[in-house]
C-alpha cells in the first residue's frame, strides 16, 4: 500500500507525500496515537516511499525496491520491535541498531521503524537520543507510539510529530462539497464575499459550527495537498496560492482550538486565502 492509498490518516499521508516530493524530509518522524495496526500501516507506507528511488512523492509500487519491500526482504528496511519475552525494547536492541547503521545502505538510505517506541526503557531511549542528535547520513527514523507520555521529552523534540486519530471518520458530503468549492475559488482568485457565502451553512450553524469548521479545514487541506503534489514541479502562481492557503488553514485551526469565535475565524480564513 502507498501513502496515497491509505484507508486511514489520509491527510497525514498526503502531507508526507508533499514532503517527499519537495525533498524536505527530516531525519526523524513520530506517528503517535490511533491503533497499532493504523500506526503500522502508515509507518510501512512511509518507509516504502522513503526507500523508493522512482516514485514522485510516493512509492511507485513497480521498481525493484518496492517489489523487495512488498516481499518482505528489503535490505534497507530495519524494524525494531519489543521481544516477546521482554516488557520493553532494550538498550541492547538500540546498540545493535547503532552497529547496523555504521554500514552504508544498499540503496540511497535506510528506513528505520521502531514499533511501540513508548515501550523503550529509559536506557534505550537515552541511547536512541544520541542517534537522533547526531543522525547518520541517509537514515530516516520512524517512531510509532501509542502515546508520548512515557517517552523522554528530548526524544520527542527531535522528531517531526504527527498525531493520528482513532477510527478516522469520513467527512460529510456537504463538507467535502464546500471544501472543493472553496479550493476552486482559491485558484480562480474569487473575491472574499463569494468564499464567505460558500461557507454559509457553517456560519449559520450554532451548536456544532466549530466542529464543522474544523472538519472543513481538514478536508480543504487534503484537497490542497493533492493539488500541491500534482503541481510539485511548478513554481507558478497556483503553488503560491496553495502555500498561502495551507498557512491560513493552520492558523484557522489553531484559533478554533483556542476557542476563538468560529464565524470570525472563518471570515479571516476567507480573507487570507
Q: What residue ranges do the domains of the chain occupy?
A: 3-164, 173-272
Lowest mean pLDDT: which of 120-134, 174-188, 203-217, 222-236?
A: 222-236
| Total-model pTM | 0.67
Q: Give the three cell numbers for residue 155.
A: 526524544
H helices of the chain, in order, are 10-22, 36-51, 64-71, 91-100, 122-133, 153-157, 173-188, 192-198, 200-204, 209-230, 237-257, 262-272
SS3 11: helix
Residue 113 CB partners (closer than 8 Å, separation 6+): 43, 44, 47, 77, 78, 79, 80, 142, 144
Is the four-CA dihedral 59, 162, 135, 233 of positive or negative sign?
Answer: positive
The span from the CA of 40 to the CA of 44, in Å, is 6
3-164: what CATH class? Answer: alpha beta
pLDDT greater than 90 at residue 115: yes
Cα-atom radius of gyration of the chain, to the nearest Å? 21
Give the SS3 label for residue 43.
helix
Kindly tell me if the per-residue pLDDT of 17 is higher than 60: yes
pLDDT tens digit string along 177-219? 899 899 999 888 899 999 999 998 888 876 668 878 888 888 8
Amino acid at each position: 500500500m502507498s501513502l496515497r492509498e491509505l484507508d486511514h490518516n489520509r491527510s497525514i499521508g498526503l502531507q508526507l507525500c508533499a514532503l517527499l516530493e519537495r525533498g524536505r524530509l527530516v531525519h526523524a518522524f513520530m506517528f503517535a496515537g490511533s491503533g497499532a495496526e493504523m500506526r503500522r500501516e502508515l509507518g510501512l507506507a512511509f518507509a516504502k516511499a522513503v526507500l523508493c528511488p522512482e516514485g514522485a512523492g510516493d512509492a511507485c509500487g513497480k521498481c525493484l525496491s518496492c517489489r523487495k519491500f512488498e516481499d518482505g526482504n528489503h535490505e534497507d528496511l530495519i524494524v525494531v520491535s519489543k521481544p516477546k519475552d521482554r516488557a520493553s525494547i532494550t538498550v541492547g536492541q538500540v546498540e545493535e541498531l547503532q552497529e547496523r547503521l555504521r554500514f552504508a545502505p544498499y540503496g540511497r538510505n535506510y528506513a528505520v521503524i521502531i514499533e511501540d517506541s513508548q515501550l523503550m526503557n529509559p536506557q534505550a531511549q537515552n541511547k536512541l537520543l544520541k542517534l537522533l542528535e547526531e543522525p547518520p547520513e541517509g537514515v530516516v527514523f520512524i517512531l510509532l507510539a501509542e502515546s508520548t507520555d512515557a517517552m523522554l521529552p528530548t526524544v520527542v523534540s527531535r522528531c517531526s510529530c504527527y498525531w493520528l486519530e482513532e477510527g478516522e471518520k469520513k467527512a460529510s458530503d456537504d463538507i467535502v462539497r464546500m471544501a472543493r468549492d472553496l479550493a476552486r475559488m482559491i485558484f480562480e482568485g474569487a473575491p472574499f464575499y463569494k468564499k464567505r457565502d460558500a461557507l454559509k451553512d457553517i456560519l449559520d450553524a450554532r451548536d456544532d459550527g466549530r466542529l464543522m469548521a474544523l472538519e472543513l479545514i481538514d478536508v480543504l487541506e487534503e484537497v490542497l495537498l493533492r493539488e500541491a503534489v500534482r503541481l510539485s514541479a511548478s513554481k507558478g502562481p497556483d503553488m503560491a496560492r496553495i502555500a498561502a492557503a495551507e498557512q491560513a488553514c493552520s492558523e484557522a485551526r489553531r484559533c478554533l482550538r483556542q476557542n476563538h469565535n468560529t464565524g470570525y475565524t472563518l471570515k479571516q480564513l476567507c480573507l487570507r486565502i
